[in-house]
């Protein structure tokens, strides 16, 4: 939306540019039409989200939906308490179907 520089009235789009409804001032500007494309073909390429990159698919049953496949990642946790160093690994799983995640110690 644009307003006339001479009188301040609203300017309407025309094939020749923008026309002031108040004083008739015509401003030569390129009018661009935007059209939305609705006929898009679906691609057969599966896009993997960043959260699944680097994870391995394993045969592990999902506790929520029963899907037999899950993504698996390992995390290692280390710490020290009362002068004793402790390390453990945590196995994180994420269902390939419903994306439910759970852990195994």
Residue keyed to tokens 């290692």: 76
The CATH code of the domain that includes 81 is 2.20.25.10
- Whether 58 and 93 map to the same domain: the answer is yes
Q: Establish if 47 belongs to a structural domain.
A: no
Q: What is the pLDDT along the chain (105 residues), one digit of tens a residue?
A: 688 888 888 888 887 788 888 888 888 876 566 777 776 666 565 555 555 566 788 999 999 999 999 998 888 888 888 888 888 888 989 998 998 999 986
Beta carbons of 33 and 53 less than 8 angstroms apart: no
Residue numbers of the domain that contains 58: 52-104
Q: Establish if 43 belongs to a structural domain.
A: no
């Amino acid at each position: 939306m644009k307003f006339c520089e001479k009188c301040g009235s609203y300017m309407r789009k025309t094939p020749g540019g923008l026309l002031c409804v108040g004083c008739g001032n015509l401003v030569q500007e390129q009018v661009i039409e935007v059209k939305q494309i609705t006929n898009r073909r679906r691609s057969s390429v599966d896009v993997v989200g960043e959260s699944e990159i680097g994870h391995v698919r394993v045969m592990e049953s999902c506790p929520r939906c029963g899907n037999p496949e899950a993504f698996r990642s390992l995390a290692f946790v280390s710490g020290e308490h009362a002068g004793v160093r402790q390390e453990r690994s945590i196995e994180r799983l994420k269902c390939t179907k419903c994306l439910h995640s759970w852990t195994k110690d």
